[in-house]
Structure 1
Amino acid sequence: MHANKPKPGDKIPHTELPKLYGENLTLGKTGSGYDWQLIVVYRGKHCPICTRYLRELNEIVAPLKELGIEIVAISADSEARAADQITEVNPDYAVGYGLSIKQMQSLGLYISSPRHGMDVEGPFAEPGLFLVNQEGELRMVDIANVPFLRPQIGSLVGGLKFMRGMTEPFPANGTFA
């Protein structure tokens, strides 16, 4: 069991990171015109699966914007490594970098160490996906320990359209204790 795993309905832990090409990025604090935030944690430049997934995110920026959902992507990479990878992605969303081990732990992410000649700078987060509403509450939590376990983009958009289209607020599923 993952002891620090955040629970749906909890407030997202305060996490602030530098953002590529300016200012800072605060998880749970949306940009203008958005009231929800989809946070995508990716492993970093060394991960080709992450690069592909980040490219796929570009396809859902417009439909999520219509739903008032901002996309942000974050990793533990340095600014230089993040910028290098992002040139391959050309994202239409904000990218944060420099996720610390303490921040990874507060988000309940699985953390891996460099191994087998991996081109990484240090420990890195395995994939995670968080949906945060306007109150800073987690509505969706997906934490994986390997790069190929991630929500499919098409299913994600369909589910978010369903959630946002409900007349009553979508409940925080998975809260039975």
Structure 2
Amino acid sequence: MTHSKPAVGMPLPLMSLPKLGGGAIDIGGARGRHMLLVVYRGKHCGRCKKYLTSLDGMAGDWEAAGFDIVTVSADPLEKAQADLDEYGWRFPIGYDLSEAQMRDLGVYISDPLSPQETDRRFAEPAVFCVRPDGIIQIACLSNGPAARPDLVELLDGMKFNIAHDRPARGMA
């Protein structure tokens, strides 16, 4: 299957996912603030828990820099809720990311290695920094759990990009 990367410098695709605690998470479109969108693999991934816990510890720094934090996975409600109950993350968590939505985002999709890992296809890690006008500024995609952007470095770089009104790069 071919993989199409997200179009930086273009709008993040519009989509809506159910949100833990009720309601929906809507991504894409203008929002008035920057958005940090983290796509994570799901309950089966220990590295995701470590990454999201690190993000939770930095949430105030991201919010002070003008970002709303949104996280999403393909996990069903029960698995996403179990992680939230265990780890207590304070940012919005969307669940039931569909394969069509994964493709719209341009993320890598994996099959479970066994039924013990998980029971459905899932998105590999991705991080998007989206401008208030809905345009993708940064897209970091991984095809496996071991490669993710350093959140401290990413925040520092985004502060610079915002302060100097830098355009999206790597559009060729």
**What's the TM-score bracket when you normalise by the shorter of the two chains?**
over 0.9
**Residues 126 and 141 of structure 2 are in contact (CA less than 8 Å); yes or no, is this contact kept in structure 1?**
yes
Give distance in 2, aligned partners of 1:170 and 1:89.
35
Runs of 4+ aligned residues of structure 1 deviating over 4 Å after TM superposition are none
TM-score by length of 1: 0.91
**Residues 20 and 94 of structure 2 are in contact (CA less than 8 Å); yes or no, is this contact kept in structure 1?**
yes
Shift of 1:121: 2.2
**Mapping of residues 1-177 of structure 1, within 5 Å:** 3-28=3-28, 35-166=33-164, 169-176=165-172
Q: How many residues align?
A: 172
Q: Any stretches of 5+ residues in structure 1 without a counterpart?
A: none
Shift of 1:4: 2.2
Q: Percent identity?
A: 36
Write out per-residue CA displacement over residues 11-41 of structure 1, whole angstroms, 9 at most, x where no aligned residue. 111111000001100113687xx61100000
| CA RMSD across the alignment | 1.7
SS in 2 for 1:85: helix
SS in 2 for 1:86: helix
SS in 1 for 2:166: coil
Give distance in 1, aligned partners of 2:45 and 2:150.
17
Distance 1:2 1:56, change over 3 A: farther
**Residues 30 and 70 of structure 1 are in contact (CA less than 8 Å); yes or no, is this contact kept in structure 2?**
no
SS in 1 for 2:42: coil
Q: In structure 1, what residue type is equivalent to 2:34?
A: W
Give distance in 2, aligned partners of 1:133 and 1:70.
11
**Residues 5 and 109 of structure 1 are in contact (CA less than 8 Å); yes or no, is this contact kept in structure 2?**
yes
Q: In structure 1, what residue type is equivalent to 2:166?
A: F
Q: In structure 1, what residue type is equivalent to 2:143?
A: N
TM-score by length of 2: 0.93
Q: Any stretches of 5+ residues in structure 2 without a counterpart?
A: none
